[in-house]
Amino acid sequence: MGPIGLTHYLVVAALMFALGVAVVLTRRNAIAVLCGLELMLNAAALNFVAFNRFGSPERMDGQVFTVFIMTLAAAEAATILAIVLNIYHSMNTVRVDEVDSMKE
């Protein structure tokens, strides 16, 4: 198996990212979709940290960017959950395909 190198981390991140895409595209439950999005963001963040460690460990760019990604993920999660709560209270459902009063 050899020592753990950059490629190992990248494979993990690639799998996570693709699984996140699968969740986002196949789920209809808004909260499940949010979980898929978190997977995608975390996969990208893992890439940043891994590239930072193996590519340019003397600088902190990748890690700092990851801090920002976490902050933005928190902001996104708060927003979407507020919206989901609001919809639930008016419709008692959080499935995106049922929330379709727009199509005439």
Partner 1 sequence: MDWSTIMWWVMAAVTVIPAVMIVLSKDIVRLAFWLLASLTGVAGLYILLGADFLGFTQVLVYIGGIMVLILFGIMMTNRDAVLMRRGETTGGAMLTGVVIAAATALALLKVVKDTKWKEAAPVEMPATTARVGEALLTDYVLPFELVSVLLLIVLCGAAYIARRRPEET
Partner 2 sequence: MSDLSLAMPVILLTTGAIAVLLLFSKKREGANPYPPAVGAATAAAALVSLQITLGKLTSVAGAGSSTGLGGFMTVDRFGVAAATICLVATLLTALLATDWLKKADANNPEFIPVLLIAAAGMVVMTTTGNLVGMFLGIEIMSVSLYILSAFRRGNLRSIESGLKYFLAGAFASGLFLMGIALNYGVSGGFDMASLATASASGTMVSKVALILLLCGFAFKLSLAPFHQWAADVYEGAPTPVTGFMSTAVKVAGFTAFTRIVLALSGTGGSWLSGAMVWLALLTMIVGNLGALAQTSVKRMLAYSSIGHAGYLMMAPIVVLSYNAASPNLGVESRAIFLSTDAMIFYLAAYALTNLLAFGSLAFIETREGKGLDMDAIGGLRWRHPVAAVGLLIAMLSLAGVPPTAGFLGKFRLFGAVLDRASVTGETAFYALIAVAVLTSLVSLGYYLRVIMRMTMHEPEGEAPVLPPFSPAWRVLIAVLVVAIIVLGFAPSFLGGGVEGVMSFLRTGI
Catalogue the long-range contacts made by 85-91 (C-beta closer than 8 Å, 24 or more residues apart): 87/30
**Residue numbers 84-103 binding partner 2 by CB under 8 A:** 84, 86-87, 90-91, 96, 99-103
Q: Which is nearer to partner 2, 2 or 103 (CB)?
A: 103
Shortest reach from residue 12's CB to partner 2, in Å: 13
Interacting partner of 37 out of partner 1, partner 2, none (Cβ under 5 to 8 A depending on kind): partner 2
Q: Which is nearer to partner 1, 25 or 102 (CB)?
A: 25
Shortest reach from residue 56's CB to partner 1, in Å: 8
- Contacts of residue 69, defined as CB under 8 A and 6 or more positions apart, other chains included, come to 41, 44, 45, 48
Instruction: Note the Cα 53 to chain centre separation in Å.
Output: 21
The 3-state DSSP class for residue 49 equals: helix
As given in the structure block, the two tokens for residue 61 are: 């760019």
Q: Which is nearer to partner 2, 3 or 95 (CB)?
A: 95
